A and B are shown apart, each in its own frame.
Chain A
Amino acid sequence: MPVESATRAVRTGLVAFAFLAYLIFIGVPGKIGGSALPVLALISALFIWLALRRESAALSGTAVDPGPGAYQKKPGWEIGPRDTSDASPFVDHLPFSVVTGFVLKGVLAGCTTGLLIAVLSGVSATAMGNGVSIQPVFDKIVPVNVAALIGVSPGQIAQAEVPLLRFVLQVLFFAGAGLLAALVAAAARSSQSQAEQLARLTTRLSGPTTVNVARYAGVALPFLLLAYIAWLGLPGVSVFGSNEGTIRLLITLIATGSGLFALRLSLPGRERTVVGVLLGLGVLAMPFILDQFQNSVMGLVFIFVMMGLGLNIVVGYAGLLDLGYVAFFAIGAYTYAFLSAPFSSPYVSSLLLLLGVAPESPLLGYWMALPVAMLTAAAGGILLGIPVLRMRGDYLAIVTLGFGEIIRLFMLNLGELTNGPRGILEISQPALFGLSPSSVTFGLLSSQGWIFLLALVSSALVAFVAIRLNDSRLGRAWFAMQEDEDVAEATGVHLVRTKLLAFAIGATFAGMAGQLYAARQINIFPENFSLFVSIDALALIIVGGIGSPAGIVLGALALKGLPEVLRGVDEYRIVTFAALLVIMMIVRPAGILPSARRRIQINDPNEMGPDSKIVSDGEAEVVQTAGVAKNAANGQEEAM
């Protein structure tokens, strides 16, 4: 059915064009510069290759092993046609023409994309050359952008001096990309069966050894990276030019994340203990070797780890969806700010005078303020908890969201109490036995490094408490309540107390995090505590794997650390982040490192509806990717 294949190829080309057009409209070619055209062509080749690979898989009758993170059988994710069961039977009869068929399809798809791109860039270029300004509408369609797309200088666009040849070249480029994709897909197909056998043989022969090597490599990786970071920090080492700070930050993030995987890869028992202790030492040394900027990012990451662990108690353990978690973070931060910043509101000072205390600043140091901030936040948690005791699910979500907004708006508008939008400035720094940390450590520990160290230690403490709580009677009560409130109550769980404890403990942790955040920021403003902080905290526990502390650390590294690495491509940062969030949810709904309990839940047949195979599919992947670890740990379940 050549017509059908052609339609399919054109459709693939259209999808590729739609995506490329998006990139063009947000101004990516202008950002890339001279090599924009080849880059875009390569992207379209990737699209076409994906589509052809799917077809080839359907043709050969057996699915190509998609590997982890594949889009197979995921409705809505595949590119190109969904139902390929009746794909081109004529190809089956003429196996030798497969390659030709692929090439034709690839080139057709590439030509479609190329023609459309040429039309798009041609129209923009002509309009600009004739003085029609598209830019006020499409912000990023500027001469630089279009010029990069066509491969000429911006001046030529403005003078309308683009030779027709350029557009032909564009079409050719994309046709070439399609050809490339087709060849790659065809090559993969023809070698597929042989490669499969070969691979099976290799695995059988060298199975245990390879696995062991991989395991040791995995365990060793964080240590290597840590050593590398330390080396990069030595004086006189300059490797990546002006990007060095960013690269080092990226490696730091990877090292911390891979440390968690290394811990899982190591065999339980002595090996894990040793690896754990060594890693702990390595991570604790980081505040001393990183520079101010890297420390400040890592500090933020671990502050959010604390937030995530606290929110995890409320959402992950107790099953209460809280979208206003930022409120407690804000309460902690503002409590510390009141106690330690020069700004003093008339209310607070008169209250102090009433109590017979002289209102001088700072009232309390960091350590003295810590219990106060925690208690205030816990009180806030109970205060929120009482009215929402009877609510469930999404009602709870929106009420907590409203509560968070109310707190923020009060901070913004109660100028006399909180200094309003002007924020509270010059919050004092935590001291170490009354001394500044840098003087104690002979200048090794910068102020941000000290914050990072504090965040590390506090989050370890919080994680410890959280894990112990989860294993306690209270933890089981939470779990029961999450499963079914009525049944839990019937079996003797005191709902009021259990819920309030969840809110209060979660809030306490957020208060701690908030206090440290205030110390890190030095200045705090009401905008620091917008809804997006709650969303960030929620997203990081879900991306990391709800209910699993290790997952939360990973989530925080990915969601709070990576955006700072991407700061160079600032405008595209949030778009990329948002798209990744959606893709992440589709590809791995259980998170990067799901907790065992969570995985059982996702796999729970009772919670499935009519098209339940999607879930089992996702589940299969989760298990599959954990495969290496599983082999190593003799099939034991990971429980972190």
Chain B
Amino acid sequence: MTSSPATVQAAGTEGRTSLRQFTRVLGAVILLFVIWRVTTVGLSEGYPASFWISQALNGLVLGGVYALVALGYTLVYGILFMINFAHGEVMMIGGITGYFALQFAQARGWMEGPWAVVVVALLLIMFIGMAASVLIGVTLERLAYRPLRQAPRLVPLISAIGASLFLQYSVLLIFGVSPHSYRKPALISGGLRLGDVFIPYTGAIIFVTSILLMLALYFIIQRTKLGRAMRAVAEDRSTASLMGVDVNAVIVVTFMLGSALAGAAGVMLGFHNTVVKFNSGFLPGLKAFTAAVLGGIGNIPGAMFGALLLGLIEAIGPSALGIPTEYKDVIAFSLLVLILIFRPTGLFGEVLSEKKA
């Protein structure tokens, strides 16, 4: 947000300086309020340390899921400058498919077999979920987004909203309205008990897997030829195509990567929270999008960090501030608003939006 200083008129400068002062004062006031609230109310409740640790762990797990989904938003945004509003539904499709794969595996008794069989079956289930998500993601790109690549920015957004509703209600009509319950195999139900802290196995798996997947993605983008092509397209689509990059292919691959991560998140969330239904992708999708923006949309480390931060705040926030837990979403969105007031391009910032926004 830089402006040519020589030509800026007095009124504009004045408005902008007073605005900056205003945001500073506002920030100080809010910071003081939060500190006061945390010290006087949050800590006075006298929760033990183990409580805070469990809440932090809950937050990290939540953050891991958000991160996987947020990466899909960020990847697509970085390259196409469009909000793939249906990304949460791509994740839900993964979860639903995973449920049926699990049913299939359970009907064959694979889930009661030796641990190696169970692990292989679980990996297979996750892979099937990811594959379904990839299929849906690529189809979406082909049918709903590609024809609109040159349209004004709002048009693909509306198309994406339409696609999101279409996917949700198709799943409702095909698989019914009632939730599908994952039945965890014995191997991953229960958890680790460390004193007063309990770590569910599924939570630990989510966190570790999401970190691994994120590292893999980072490697792909930074170290491979494909990643270089992606970065080139993100930088400047037309120049990249002149340099011999197949733009369409890169975009499809981007959607595939994002959808695969979302599918993995969907299946793991299914195992963790044990319920999927037609609209169970919507809220996580919204939160993940929030997380992506928090970190600076289009910025991959930003999305990961933003998601973990959002998860942590959501879990710890209500207790620390001493307010009821039903305000966790309020806290999440307020955090977003606050951070963007002070850093209008997200925590990590990004250079890409400047030219399009």
Q: Which residues of A contact B (CB under 8 A)?
A: 22, 25-27, 74-77, 136-140, 315, 321, 386-395, 397-399, 401-403, 405-406, 409-410, 412-413, 486, 489-490, 492-497, 531, 535, 538-539, 542-543, 546, 571-572, 574-575, 577-582, 584-586, 589, 601-602, 607-612, 614-615, 618
- Majority SS of interface residues in chain B? helix
Instruction: Decide: A494 and B12 in contact? CB cutoff 8 A.
Output: yes
Which residues of chain B in 141-166 are interfacial with respect to chain A, using CB atoms and an 8 Å cutoff?
142-144, 146-156, 158-159, 161-166
Q: How far is the CB of A482 from chain B (nearest CB, A)?
A: 11
Instruction: Tally A-B pairs: CB < 8 A.
Output: 214
Q: How far is the CB of B97 from chain A (nearest CB, A)?
A: 12
- Pairs across A and B, CB under 8 Å, 22 listed: A25-B174, A75-B146, A137-B175, A140-B173, A387-B340, A390-B23, A390-B344, A394-B83, A395-B346, A397-B83, A402-B290, A402-B333, A405-B333, A412-B326, A494-B12, A496-B15, A578-B169, A581-B159, A581-B162, A585-B148, A612-B150, A614-B147
- In Å, the complex CA distance between A256 and B257 comes to 47
Q: Which of A403, A492, A542, A580 contacts B155 (CB 8 A)?
A: A542
Which residues of chain B in 332-350 are interfacial with respect to chain A, using CB atoms and an 8 Å cutoff?
332-334, 336-337, 340-341, 344-346
Instruction: Decide: A572 and B173 in contact? CB cutoff 8 A.
Output: yes
Q: Which of A321, A575, A581 contacts B154 (CB 8 A)?
A: A321
- In Å, the complex CA distance between A543 and B237 comes to 28
Instruction: Decide: B152 and A601 in contact? CB cutoff 8 A.
Output: yes
Of the candidates A27, A390, A579, A611, the one having the most CB atoms from chain B within 10 angstroms of its own CB is: A390
When distances are taken between beta carbons in the complex, the residues of chain B under 8 Å from A585 are 144, 148, 151, 155-156, 158-159, 162
- Majority SS of interface residues in chain A? helix
Partner-contacting stretch, out of B1-9, B37-45, B197-205, B207-215: B1-9
Q: Which of A387, A392, A409, A492 contacts B327 (CB 8 A)?
A: A409
Instruction: Decide: A608 and B169 in contact? CB cutoff 8 A.
Output: no
- In Å, the complex CA distance between A340 and B158 comes to 37
Q: How far is the CB of A299 from chain B (nearest CB, A)?
A: 24
Instruction: Decide: B337 and A26 in contact? CB cutoff 8 A.
Output: no
Q: Which of A138, A543, A589, A610 contacts B175 (CB 8 A)?
A: A138
Instruction: Decide: B173 and A589 in contact? CB cutoff 8 A.
Output: no
When distances are taken between beta carbons in the complex, the residues of chain B under 8 Å from A402 are 290, 332-334, 336-337
Instruction: Decide: A575 and B9 in contact? CB cutoff 8 A.
Output: no
Q: How far is the CB of B290 from chain A (nearest CB, A)?
A: 6
When distances are taken between beta carbons in the complex, the residues of chain B under 8 Å from A138 are 174-175
When distances are taken between beta carbons in the complex, the residues of chain A under 8 Å from B247 are 610
Q: How far is the CB of A397 from chain B (nearest CB, A)?
A: 7
When distances are taken between beta carbons in the complex, the residues of chain A under 8 Å from B224 are none
Instruction: Decide: B147 and A76 in contact? CB cutoff 8 A.
Output: yes
- In Å, the complex CA distance between A182 and B281 comes to 43
Instruction: Decide: B11 and A406 in contact? CB cutoff 8 A.
Output: no
- In Å, the complex CA distance between A163 and B142 comes to 41
Q: Which residues of B contact A (CB under 8 A)?
A: 1-4, 7-9, 11-12, 15-16, 19, 22-23, 26, 77, 83, 100, 103, 142-144, 146-156, 158-159, 161-166, 169-170, 173-177, 237-238, 241, 247, 286, 289-290, 293, 297, 324, 326-327, 329-330, 332-334, 336-337, 340-341, 344-346, 353, 356-357
When distances are taken between beta carbons in the complex, the residues of chain A under 8 Å from B8 are 489-490
Of the candidates A586, A607, A618, the one having the most CB atoms from chain B within 10 angstroms of its own CB is: A586
Closest A residue to B324 using CB positions: A413
Instruction: Decide: A394 and B151 in contact? CB cutoff 8 A.
Output: no
When distances are taken between beta carbons in the complex, the residues of chain A under 8 Å from B241 are 610
Instruction: Decide: A610 and B237 in contact? CB cutoff 8 A.
Output: yes
Q: How far is the CB of B318 from chain A (nearest CB, A)?
A: 11
Closest A residue to B323 using CB positions: A413
Q: Which of A136, A546, A575 contacts B166 (CB 8 A)?
A: A575
When distances are taken between beta carbons in the complex, the residues of chain A under 8 Å from B170 are 22, 26, 575
- In Å, the complex CA distance between A389 and B1 comes to 12
The 7 closest A-B pairs by CB, nearest first: A581-B162, A139-B176, A393-B357, A402-B333, A578-B165, A578-B166, A26-B173
Instruction: Decide: A395 and B166 in contact? CB cutoff 8 A.
Output: no
Instruction: Decide: A395 and B293 in contact? CB cutoff 8 A.
Output: yes
- In Å, the complex CA distance between A496 and B20 comes to 12
Closest B residue to A77 using CB positions: B147
When distances are taken between beta carbons in the complex, the residues of chain A under 8 Å from B15 are 494-497
A490 touching B147 in the complex, CB below 8 Å, given contacts A26-B170, A406-B334, A409-B329: no
Instruction: Decide: A395 and B345 in contact? CB cutoff 8 A.
Output: yes
Of the candidates B1, B159, B238, the one having the most CB atoms from chain A within 10 angstroms of its own CB is: B159
When distances are taken between beta carbons in the complex, the residues of chain A under 8 Å from B150 are 607-609, 611-612, 614-615
Q: How far is the CB of B30 from chain A (nearest CB, A)?
A: 11
When distances are taken between beta carbons in the complex, the residues of chain A under 8 Å from B162 are 539, 578-582, 584-585
Q: Which of B173, B289, B357 contacts A139 (CB 8 A)?
A: B173
When distances are taken between beta carbons in the complex, the residues of chain A under 8 Å from B333 are 402-403, 405-406
Q: How far is the CB of B329 from chain A (nearest CB, A)?
A: 6
- In Å, the complex CA distance between A134 and B114 comes to 30
When distances are taken between beta carbons in the complex, the residues of chain B under 8 Å from A490 are 3-4, 7-9, 12
- In Å, the complex CA distance between A531 and B85 comes to 13
- In Å, the complex CA distance between A601 and B152 comes to 8
- In Å, the complex CA distance between A391 and B344 comes to 5
A393 touching B143 in the complex, CB below 8 Å, given contacts A27-B173, A413-B326, A579-B166: no
- In Å, the complex CA distance between A609 and B334 comes to 37
Closest A residue to B85 using CB positions: A535
When distances are taken between beta carbons in the complex, the residues of chain B under 8 Å from A403 are 333, 337
- Given A585-B158, A610-B247, 9 more A-B residue pairs with CB atoms under 8 Å apart are A76-B143, A397-B83, A490-B4, A490-B9, A494-B11, A539-B161, A543-B158, A584-B162, A585-B144
Closest A residue to B22 using CB positions: A386
- In Å, the complex CA distance between A576 and B326 comes to 34
